[in-house]
Amino acid sequence: MEALYSTIIRFFQEGGFFIYPIATVLALGIVIVVERWFFLARESARNIKAFEEFLPLLRTTDLEKMQLFSRENTAPVIRVIGCGLDMMKVTKHRADIEHAMNEGMLEAMPRLETRTGYLSMLANIATLLGLLGTIIGLISAFTAVASADPAQKSALLSLAISVAMNTTAFGLITAIPLLICYSVLQNKTAKIVTSIEMAAVKFLNIMTYNRLIHAGAQSITVAPADSPVEENLPAEAVPAPAA
Residue 59 to residue 63: CA distance in whole angstroms: 11
Is residue 29 within 8 A of residue 122, CB to CB? The reply is yes
pLDDT the model gives residue 135:
86
How many Å separate Cα 96 from the centre of its chain?
Answer: 25
Predicted confidence pLDDT, tens digits, the chain (243 residues): 666 666 666 666 666 778 889 999 999 999 999 999 999 999 999 999 999 999 888 888 788 889 899 888 889 999 999 999 989 888 888 888 999 999 989 888 888 888 999 999 999 999 999 998 888 878 877 776 666 666 666 766 777 777 778 888 899 999 999 999 999 999 999 999 999 999 999 999 988 888 888 876 443 333 344 444 344 444 444 444 444
Residue 187, number of CB atoms within 10 A of its CB: 9
Looking at the chain, how many residues does it have? 243
- What is the predicted pLDDT for the residue at 214? 81
| Inter-residue contact 101 to 83 (CB < 8 Å) | yes
Cα–Cα dist 163/17, whole Å: 10
How many C-alpha atoms does 143 have within 13 Å on its Cβ side?
6
Our CA angle for 194, 197, 202, nearest 5°, is 125
Nearest by Cα to 189 from 107, 81, 108: 108
What residue spans of the chain are helical by DSSP H?
Answer: 2-14, 19-60, 63-72, 76-88, 94-113, 117-146, 153-209
For 197, counting Cβ atoms within 10 Å of its Cβ (0-12 exposed, 13-18 middle, 19+ buried), the class is middle
Contacts of 117 (CB under 8 A, 6+ apart): 182
Task: Judge if pTM exceeds 0.85.
Answer: no
Distance of CA 92 to the CA centre of its chain: 31
Residue 237: the pLDDT is 42
Q: What angle do CA 193, 198, 201 make, to 5 degrees?
A: 125
